[in-house]
Amino acid sequence: MKRILVTGGAGFLGSHLCGRLLRDGHDVLCVDNFFTGARRNVAHLGKHPGFELMRHDVTFPLYVEVDRIFNLACPASPVHYQHDPVQTTKTSVHGAINMLGLAKRLKARILQASTSEVYGDPEVHPQTEGYWGKVNPIGIRSCYDEGKRCAETLFFDYHRQHDLDIKVVRIFNTYGPRMHPNDGRVVSNFIVQALNGEDITIYGDGSQTRSFCYVDDLIEVMVRMMNSERGFTGPVNIGNPVEHTMLELAEKVLMLVGGRSRLVYQPLPADDPRQRQPDIRLARDQLGWQPKVGLEDGLKETISYFRHLLQIGVAA
């Protein structure tokens, strides 16, 4: 049993991770400033004797005693990370420095939740970990992309310079219950629009592709990565390599929700990648992992979560 710090623990992925770690018998300290996370995401864990929730902003130093750190704190969707881009960069960069400093003091293993956005608008398809990416350093997505890239740099410099035990995963699009209902991400957008009987907005012509990983699959591989042998630092791509066009996704959501929403088309936002698909051979070979949950099963769970949110009036 270990004491594990999860930053961003009240967010979408963080709340699932906290639940999983408690089920595995660990004590969990969940730290969050509730920018995009919510107490309701971890309310069901509140009575667990091993669970503790702390309001804290990771851009400030944190002094706690733990054995391991999962660093997830960072708004993840464009609407949220573009709301205060300077704070987004600070969260990635100062947050990484503060958590790495903590890990160094405690000699604790630390895992960084990085992102496929480090590849930018990739020229290589599918993306392997060896690809360095094509990122615009001055665009409206740069606060997130470059912030995450700098955080990776810091992780690897702490590893080389201080022999810190680091793990870096690059997460590709993930979806599931407890996604933020108004985060503008395509899965939540389509589902909420369909449940409200509104038109479903497709950016561009809908032929751009994404691969979607169900949250349970993603949490499984994050835990495997944290438990992997010392020295296996990554970065490791984690996500589901099965690609879908936006049009396919919209049609599947419509089919599962029912209703009479129409598909409407709008221009593509700036710097929106046309295609994104992980090469997960490294995760498969080193961690013995591959995603199991198909899109339709994952969407059903997610739809029923959003249906509940709409019923209790949390999502509009």
Ligand X SMILES: NC(=O)c1ccc[n+]([C@@H]2O[C@H](COP(=O)([O-])OP(=O)(O)OC[C@H]3O[C@@H](n4cnc5c(N)ncnc54)[C@H](O)[C@@H]3O)[C@@H](O)[C@H]2O)c1
> Rule CB under 6 A: which residues touch ligand X?
7-8, 10-14, 32-37, 57-59, 72-76, 91, 95, 113, 115, 171, 173-174, 180
Q: Are 96 and 112 in contact (CB under 8 A)?
A: yes
> Between 116 and 261, whose beta carbon lies closer to ligand X?
116
Burial class (CB in 10 A: 0-12, 13-18, 19+), 301: middle
- Would you give the DSSP letter of residue 117? G
Residue 90 beta carbon to ligand X: minimum distance, rounded to whole angstroms: 7
How many helices (H) and strands (E) the chain has is answered by 10, 13
Burial class (CB in 10 A: 0-12, 13-18, 19+), 249: buried
> Between 90 and 263, whose beta carbon lies closer to ligand X?
90
Name which of 101, 49, 69 is nearest 3 in CA terms. 69
Residue 316 beta carbon to ligand X: minimum distance, rounded to whole angstroms: 18
DSSP states of 183-203 as a string? S--HHHHHHHHHHTTPPEEEE
> Between 99 and 164, whose beta carbon lies closer to ligand X?
99
- Would you give the DSSP letter of residue 204? T
Residue 60 beta carbon to ligand X: minimum distance, rounded to whole angstroms: 8
Do you know the residue count of the chain? 316
What is the maximal distance between C-alpha atoms in the chain? 58
> Between 91 and 233, whose beta carbon lies closer to ligand X?
91
> Between 73 and 191, whose beta carbon lies closer to ligand X?
73
All residues at 6 or more sequence positions from 113 whose CB lies less than 8 Å from its CB, including other chains = 8, 13, 70, 71, 72, 74, 169, 171, 222
> Between 152 and 261, whose beta carbon lies closer to ligand X?
152
**Reduced DSSP (H G I as helix, E B as strand, rest coil) percent helix, strand, coil of the chain, to 5:** 40, 20, 40
Q: Which H helix or E strand runs over 141?
A: none
Residue 25 beta carbon to ligand X: minimum distance, rounded to whole angstroms: 23
Residue 33 beta carbon to ligand X: minimum distance, rounded to whole angstroms: 4
Residue 260 beta carbon to ligand X: minimum distance, rounded to whole angstroms: 29
Concerning whether 144 is annotated as a catalytic residue, the answer is yes
- The one catalytic residue among 144, 158, 175, 305: 144
Catalytic positions: 144
